[in-house]
Amino acid sequence: MITAFAPATVANLNCGFDVLGLAIDKPGDEVSVAFNDLGAVRIVEIEGDGGKLPYEVARNTAGIAVHSLWKHLQMEKGVDIVIRKKMPFGSGLGSSAASAVAAAVAANALFGNPLTKRELLDFAIDGEAVASGARHADNVAPSLLGGIVLLRSYQPQIDLLQLPVPNNLYCTVIYPKVEILTKEARNILPEKIPLKDAIQQTGNLAGCVAALYQNDLALLGRSLVDVLAEPYRAPLIPEFQRVRQAALYGGALAFGISGSGPSMFALSDGAAKSAQIAGLMEKTLNNKQIDCQIFNSKVNVEGAKVITNYELRITNNF
């Protein structure tokens, strides 16, 4: 039995709709896999989903990721999958992507690691696509690889870049406990955008990339502005403007919607500042009696990883 962990992610980062994302330390999903003698992939257990996830492999993000990899490698033995959901659904933290990524990483390890992490991307995206209704990788890629990832292009194939991560960059995420489904949050966006918005977004995305290469946190803060999605999505998020004010008052470099929401994120320079910002953001929602959860960590540069290998553990113990 091999278990992998894949971390939550903050997609878009305001100026990079569908093309930017970063990984955080917690929360994350765990998926375990083991061989079976049935010659088929099946899901044998799902924990922590409140009964919401399908056991049918073809409809489950983790199931599809494993099946897709298993088929590609023409494995003879079947695979049993156990999914431990440790992340909320519809939170904007890349829950479905984390399941798909953990599943792909665990299965690859079970098969003897024939593929690199980068090569697992397409298989994890196969899984994520069924949940979100679109083949985008701004959650999958950072969850898999860690750090801050730019998806320069999706066609004809994915061209991604892992951007430099400033050493002291912290990310605070607050999740108000309401559910927003990515599919729905995409449907409310306009199909066309005004030229002036495209110009602003392009300038900011370029500014963000330059800021990361130059380790210029002030430029990073100025660049993380969202003129495409936030105007439409912010009204769906409880107390969005108040939480923004609290984060900026606490010294956040930038604030915005995590993925398609309702989670919100703030970036900051250093642990002390991020703790202060976390406290202020949480107090803002608590004052309005809105149930929420806070996650505060450095940007996670490691990404998904195998956390237990039962056979190895036995070998090590004896």
Interacting residue ranges for ligand HSE, rule: CB under 6 A: 11-12, 17-18, 136, 138-139, 182, 185-186, 229, 259-260
> How many CB atoms are located within 10 Å of the residue 98 CB?
33
Smaller CB distance to ligand HSE: residue 61 or 139? 139
Q: Which two three-digit tokens encode residue 100?
A: 């798909």
Smaller CB distance to ligand HSE: residue 20 or 81? 20
Smaller CB distance to ligand HSE: residue 72 or 186? 186
**CB of 114 closer than 8 Å to CB of 103:** no
**CB of 65 closer than 8 Å to CB of 124:** yes
Q: Which two three-digit tokens encode residue 150?
A: 């730019």
Shortest Cβ distance from residue 179 to ligand HSE (Å)? 14
Smaller CB distance to ligand HSE: residue 139 or 172? 139
Q: Which two three-digit tokens encode residue 51?
A: 């009964």
Residue 108's Cβ-count burial label (10 Å; 0-12, 13-18, 19+) is: buried
DSSP 8-state secondary structure symbol assigned to residue 253: S
* Integer CA distances (angstroms), 258 to 1, 216, 226, 267, 315, in order: 33, 22, 11, 11, 42
Shortest Cβ distance from residue 11 to ligand HSE (Å)? 4
Smaller CB distance to ligand HSE: residue 187 or 289? 187
Shortest Cβ distance from residue 259 to ligand HSE (Å)? 4
Shortest Cβ distance from residue 14 to ligand HSE (Å)? 11
Residue nearest to ligand HSE (CB): 11
Shortest Cβ distance from residue 132 to ligand HSE (Å)? 6
**CB of 145 closer than 8 Å to CB of 40:** no
Smaller CB distance to ligand HSE: residue 42 or 135? 135
In Å, how far from its chain's centre is CA 204? Answer: 21
Residues acting as catalytic residues: 128, 182
Q: Which two three-digit tokens encode residue 15?
A: 């100026």
Shortest Cβ distance from residue 21 to ligand HSE (Å)? 7
Tell me which residue of 46, 21, 291 sits closest to 171, measured CA to CA: 21
**CB of 55 closer than 8 Å to CB of 24:** no
